[in-house]
Amino acid sequence: MHIPDGFLNPATLAATWVASSGSVGYGVHRLRRELDERQVPLMGVTAAFIFAAQMMNFTVAGGTSGHLLGGALAAILLGPWAAMLALTSVLAVQALVFQDGGLLALGANIWNMAVVGVLVAWAVYRALARLWGQKTWGQALAAFLAAWTSVFVASLMASVELALSGASPWRVVLPAMGGVHALIGIGEGIITLATLALVRAVRPDLLLRRRTSDVGGAL
């Protein structure tokens, strides 16, 4: 899903830089008031895990590349604003050090994965978790659907940017990116559930704190 340089036109690049900068800036503003010191190490561990997962990617015909996203896992563990910052850090390091995604296109990649992916995941998880309450199956299904939806919507956002820039026709890029990431979303949902199960077994207090707090719109 990382978009390299040369795929997006100047207007799309500028629009996504403005949107992602404003969103991340707002997230940092929220974190200044809401960040718990105990959350900082968890942010680092979560970012490291997502970084490793995102390095495993493959080419998608008519689009760019596909890989796990990690937005839902980060949002559930950290809340939306800390998750947004963690994903932004991962994407910046990947672009600057590993040339995974273009520097000019970094605004678009941050917007697609760190902003849209995280906020969509958080909105879906929060709504479904509230609907199904504290039932274990409800929390698990909410996490799975949040992970799947975040990957699928983020891939569609990238597809729209590519099509608007003339990099690939709508009829090619939408089914190519959407179809592949619909499958990737299933894998991401399973990995998200497995990771949350491990966290629940080792540090259940982390999940309990997220469910019982209402910081920054968190559960």
Region 13-25: what's the mean pLDDT? 97
In Å, how far are 48, 56, 79, 134, 204 from 207, measured between CA atoms? 19, 27, 11, 11, 6
Residue type, 120: V
Element (H, E) at 94: helix 80-98
Report helix, strand or coil for 167: coil
Report helix, strand or coil for 5: coil
Measured from the Cβ of residue 213, the count of other Cβ atoms closer than 10 Å reads: 13
The pLDDT of residue 86 is above 80: yes
Give the pLDDT confidence score for residue 115 in this predicted structure: 97
**Which structure tokens are listed for 88?**
């932004």
Cβ-contact 122, 146 below 8 angstroms: yes
Which residue ranges form the domains of the chain, and what is each CATH number? 10-217 (1.10.1760.20)
What are the tens digits of pLDDT across the range 173-218? 888 888 888 888 888 898 899 888 888 888 777 775 555 443 334 4
Quickly state the pLDDT bin for 20 (edges 50, 70, 90).
Answer: very high
Any idea of the CA torsion for 169, 151, 189, 94, to the nearest 10 degrees? 110
Write the DSSP symbol of residue 114: I
Report helix, strand or coil for 214: coil
Q: In the beta sheet, which residues pair with residue 59?
A: 65
Q: Which residues contact 122 (CB under 8 A, 6 or more apart)?
A: 72, 75, 76, 79, 80, 83, 146, 217
Region 115-130: what's the mean pLDDT? 94
Give the pLDDT confidence score for residue 181 in this predicted structure: 84
Report helix, strand or coil for 10: helix
The pLDDT of residue 219 is above 50: no
Cβ-contact 146, 121 below 8 angstroms: yes
